[in-house]
Structure 1
Amino acid sequence: MAATKEVSEVPETDWQSNKTLQQSLEFMLLNQIGCDVQFEVGDQKEKIKAHKVVLASRSPVFFALFKQEEENNKLPQAVQKTERTGSVVSVKNIIETKVPRSDSQASIKSNMSNKSTSMSIGRGGGWIDMNDSSMFTKQPVPSPRDTIKTTEQPVLETVEKQEKIYEIADTDFNTFKLFLSYLYTDHAELEYSTATKLAPLAVTYKVNGLLTQTIKCLFDQVNANNACSAFEIAHLTRSADLKMKCMYIITNTAREAIRSRDFMKLCPDCVSRITESTDLNASEDEIYEALIEWGEHECMRNKKEINPTNIRNVMGNIFYNIRFPAMNDVYYKREVEPKPFLTTEEKELIAKFKSGSAKKDMLPFKVHPRVNVAFHAVMRCQLDQKLQEHTGKPDALCFDVSEQVWLHGIAVFGAYFEQTNHVHLEVRDESHNVISIYQGQIDTVPNDEVYEVVLHAPILLQPDQIYTLLLTLVGPNKHFYKGIGGKNLVEFKDMKICFYDSNFSKNGTSIEGGQIPALLLST
């Protein structure tokens, strides 16, 4: 945190000499000169004073607060001896500001201190006591001599006037001092840690200049280690650019981000926005575990017992961001199905979907894996240095899998020359129904032999069903690389993948070689 200036010794006279207006105001703040408003800050209720005129000129929230206080404190024309009671004034009652929850967001209220000041009212010094009935009866006019002789002092009455102390919660004393310093000087020495604390204050009190500076600081310094905390601030301040940058970092470092302490502190809106993303680079197993842990923290924040029912309740619709049908089948049966987070009906629907007897529209959960989930190229043949002339007819290959697995696409051999090639890929099921089509282009160069063709959406392959891949690859030059030494059986993790020749293959691809050297798979 940036160091704050020390209070200097106040000279008795001429401290204003050679100071600018800004320097003089800052000097008065640091040395607590002529202050007319007091704050208690943080859990320790540390006190600091300031000047209403400065705060009101810099923040519309302070302006409205002090204006309301002034109106509430107006005395009636006939001044009476009264006893005033304290009242609680909240900024939220003055200006309705809808902002997301943040543990660092400041709130303000006012309490009445036990200290009191007396206001003298009497017949001396120009004061008039409106309660004195003698003021309204005819009195003899004293002579100058009588006036000089009198030693009687005016009769004094008092109106108890209590001093308001505004309590600033949910921020610390040093941060509030930095905030006040900015209001007096228009300057803030920002680091990442101070910017995250000052930004909520800037939002609460509508100090747009400070908000702009804090957002710029966060944007410049956000990285994989602090992206979640910066995302919360971006959400709070509605900073689209900062939110976009944070989201990009979080999606690409999701495995680390969703396990971080900052993720566990996020508000529900931020957690929902992150976990609904299709681009999260993490497995569904990891996302599930991170959300359950976040739910435990949310239970503690809401002072609820940590149990499956309460965890699901505090998660609300966030729970449906978990893509249970896309989970690894072994993990789901071992870690998820035995636990009571899912209802019996939800478990039955997931089981039916995995068996192929329920359509995805029947489930409350998304069924496709995240786009950024890492897939593996499972090779079935190796590169042949000899070229093969493409006829423009389809290459085809059949295969089956021993366990459920996601098919993300295939690998293809490219052309020998630098050129743009048109790609048409079909995936057909055992009944020869087309279940996925890809149409696009790949740009090939002579030194790169293998290219990935990624489907628009992954396909969940069922065991013991034969699938057919039909590939048509067309370019200006027909000479393409090809594969040799093909295998009819390869292993991927704990499953087996068997390949078969297809009657649809018209360009030389078979078990032994040709095109389609690899499948792109994930579990």
Structure 2
Amino acid sequence: MEEHGEDSQDDNSYESGDGDDKPQNRTKQKKKDHHSQGRRPSKHLQQNHELCGESSQSPGFNWQANFSTMASRLRFLLFNPLMSDVTFIVGVQKERIPAHKFILSISSSVFEAMFYSLLANRSKEIELPDVEPVAFKNLLRFIYLDQASVGPENVMTTLYTAKKYSIPNLEKHCVEFLECNLCGDNAFLLLSQARLFDESKLILNCLDVIDKKTQDSLNSDGFLEIDYDTLQYVLKRDTLRIREVRLYEAVIKWADAECARRSLDVDVDNRRQVLKNTINLIRYPLMSIEEFAAGPAQSGLLSDSQVVRLFLYYTLNPKPNTEFSDTPRCCMTGRECIISRFLEVDTRWGYNGTSDRIRFQVDRGIFLAGLGLYGSIHGSQEYDVSIQIVHTHSTNVVGFNKTKFSCDGSNQPFRVMFKEPVEIIPNTSYIAIATLKGNDSFYGTKGLKKICLQCSKGERVTFQFSYASGNNNGTSVEDGQIPEFIFYI
């Protein structure tokens, strides 16, 4: 913080004199001591001015001459009672911080109105109980020196203070710090603060992180602490990359945390009280019937009629309308990627109710949007099909859809998409399953065990395939169905 260069010699002289104490030089030494009263204080004294905001020693006559620039003079005056015409009593700690009205007013319209308007505050002491001392010192440091000591522990209080006193460049500095340190663990916490301070750019950046790292963000302590409006705001989004049942489970945890904050018992009635209408923002049609039956159907948060209508939705075809959205959450951005695991196509592959299955894993996180499947060798046909992604070790179904697809008789794969993109964790084993009902189809041969694909923006993804044990209708690494995987990074 100090400027040393040109003043270092004067400092040494001020503290130690000539270093020559012979009798014949004592008169000369006294003269020097007399003149030295007009010099600036030592570095140690200046540091006390800045760190403590006060000094018991006078700076002496003509102290200005000891600083070659305006910046160095302002640095000397920062937190210094010298020439100060206002003292702020800051925070619950009531810390006294001296300042200079003119310097503050040329940097802030709020301070200008406070000190120089018709309704100006004439008091020499002003209390600021809602401002943290560290944040207010950051504000003064920025006004006097164009510097700020912003860190994780004080950035939000500094941002609040900068907004209160209309210092836009300090606001920008705080927001940039937050953006540089934004991650899944703190995205919800910062989103709440950004909405409070109406920082539109920071809000968008927080939402982008929440979209891309939804599970990490929901697992953070910050999610449990968000306010009701922020919860509702996020649940309305179409771009969350997470299975709906996991989102539902996170919302229930938030409700339990909110009950605890309100000193309420954690029961069905109080959960419903704190969640209000947000429970209807969960997209139950995106769950499997098993997920719905095991969780929401038994929660007591939905009415009996809502539960019945949802069970009808799962079991009837065509699907009846429900009051809940069935729009997939994850509207992927970026370029779609497809890997093809066979080098050649052959005929014929039959179906007798048995599922085709292939085991796979990837070396980086992706979102699997769908599978490519071979169609009929007998011209245009329609297939009933069910596709699933199963976590190998837990046997949990992490992606699912039951639908129809039409083929035109060509040997090109036909796309069948999941209800919502499936998050695939790197270096984790999954099984892709397709159950088709229809005529004999084409099938692939000369399959590849390992495929490395160069995607957009230079990303590389490596798929590794292996045999899925059990009844798999003959599909293996070398031959069979499920020729394509459709995904996004």
**TM class by shorter-chain length?**
0.5 to 0.7
In the TM superposition, residue 243 of structure 1 has moved relative to its aligned partner by 3.5
In the TM superposition, residue 303 of structure 1 has moved relative to its aligned partner by 6.7
Contact 2:92 / 2:129 at 8 angstroms: preserved in 1?
A: no
Contact 1:61 / 1:205 at 8 angstroms: preserved in 2?
A: yes
Q: 1:57 aligns with which of 106, 118, 122?
A: 106
Q: Separation in 2 of the partners of 1:285 and 1:387? A: 38
The answer to whether 1:245 aligns with 2:205 is yes
Q: Separation in 2 of the partners of 1:370 and 1:68? A: 53
Contact 1:352 / 1:358 at 8 angstroms: preserved in 2?
A: no
Contact 1:199 / 1:210 at 8 angstroms: preserved in 2?
A: yes
In the TM superposition, residue 496 of structure 1 has moved relative to its aligned partner by 9.4
Question: Which structure 1 residue ranges, 5 or more long, are not aligned?
Answer: 74-161, 374-381, 402-406, 415-424, 436-457, 462-466, 483-491
Q: Separation in 2 of the partners of 1:468 and 1:360? A: 17
Q: SS of the counterpart of 1:175?
A: helix
Q: Which residue of 1 aligns with 2:168?
A: 208
Q: 2:224 aligns with which of 242, 264, 287?
A: 264
In the TM superposition, residue 47 of structure 1 has moved relative to its aligned partner by 3.3
Q: SS of the counterpart of 1:32?
A: coil
Contact 1:219 / 1:242 at 8 angstroms: preserved in 2?
A: yes
In the TM superposition, residue 361 of structure 1 has moved relative to its aligned partner by 4.3
- Residues 187 and 496 of structure 1, relative CA distance in 2, 3 Å threshold: closer
Q: Which residue of 2 aligns with 1:319?
A: 279
Q: Separation in 1 of the partners of 2:407 and 2:198? A: 47
Report 1:89-488 matches (<5 A): 165-169=126-130, 171-299=131-259, 307-356=267-316, 361-363=321-323, 365-371=324-330, 386-388=344-346, 409-412=370-373, 460-461=401-402, 468-472=404-408
In the TM superposition, residue 178 of structure 1 has moved relative to its aligned partner by 1.2
TM, length-normalised to structure 2: 0.57
Q: Separation in 2 of the partners of 1:257 and 1:214? A: 22
Q: Which residue of 2 aligns with 1:159?
A: none
In the TM superposition, residue 257 of structure 1 has moved relative to its aligned partner by 0.9
- Residues 397 and 183 of structure 1, relative CA distance in 2, 3 Å threshold: farther
Contact 1:39 / 1:168 at 8 angstroms: preserved in 2?
A: no
User: Percentage identity across aligned positions?
Assistant: 23
In the TM superposition, residue 352 of structure 1 has moved relative to its aligned partner by 3.0
| Paired letter, 2:104 | L
The answer to whether 1:6 aligns with 2:54 is no
In the TM superposition, residue 259 of structure 1 has moved relative to its aligned partner by 1.7
- Residues 226 and 473 of structure 1, relative CA distance in 2, 3 Å threshold: farther
- Residues 180 and 168 of structure 1, relative CA distance in 2, 3 Å threshold: farther
Q: Separation in 1 of the partners of 2:288 and 2:483? A: 25
Aligned length: 355
| Paired letter, 1:502 | N
Report 1:2-41 matches (<5 A): 5-7=50-52, 9=55, 10-14=57-61, 15-19=63-67, 20-41=69-90
Q: Separation in 2 of the partners of 1:33 and 1:351? A: 77
- Residues 349 and 49 of structure 1, relative CA distance in 2, 3 Å threshold: farther
- Residues 168 and 473 of structure 1, relative CA distance in 2, 3 Å threshold: farther
Q: Separation in 2 of the partners of 1:366 and 1:426? A: 31
TM, length-normalised to structure 1: 0.54
CA deviation string 1:423-478 (max 9, x = no partner): xx997669xxxx9xxxxxxxxxxxxxxxxxxxxxx9853xxxxx64333486xxx8
Q: Separation in 1 of the partners of 2:178 and 2:115? A: 32
Q: SS of the counterpart of 2:292?
A: helix
Aligned-CA RMSD value: 4.8
Contact 2:239 / 2:331 at 8 angstroms: preserved in 1?
A: yes
CA deviation string 1:166-222 (max 9, x = no partner): 2332x5322221122212222213345443432232223221111122222222332
The answer to whether 1:502 aligns with 2:439 is yes
In the TM superposition, residue 357 of structure 1 has moved relative to its aligned partner by 8.0
Q: SS of the counterpart of 1:6?
A: helix
- Residues 44 and 296 of structure 1, relative CA distance in 2, 3 Å threshold: farther
| Paired letter, 2:76 | F
Contact 2:89 / 2:125 at 8 angstroms: preserved in 1?
A: no
In the TM superposition, residue 248 of structure 1 has moved relative to its aligned partner by 2.8
Question: Which structure 2 residue ranges, 5 or more long, are not aligned?
Answer: 1-46, 333-339, 356-367, 387-398, 415-428, 445-472
Q: Separation in 1 of the partners of 2:286 and 2:209? A: 23
Q: SS of the counterpart of 1:17?
A: helix
CA deviation string 1:325-376 (max 9, x = no partner): 323433433333333322334333323322338956431x223443389xxx
- Residues 400 and 227 of structure 1, relative CA distance in 2, 3 Å threshold: same
| Paired letter, 1:471 | C
Contact 2:89 / 2:96 at 8 angstroms: preserved in 1?
A: yes
In the TM superposition, residue 30 of structure 1 has moved relative to its aligned partner by 1.6
Bigger CA radius of gyration: 1
- Residues 250 and 383 of structure 1, relative CA distance in 2, 3 Å threshold: closer
In the TM superposition, residue 305 of structure 1 has moved relative to its aligned partner by 6.3
Q: SS of the counterpart of 1:411?
A: strand
Q: Which residue of 2 aligns with 1:87?
A: none
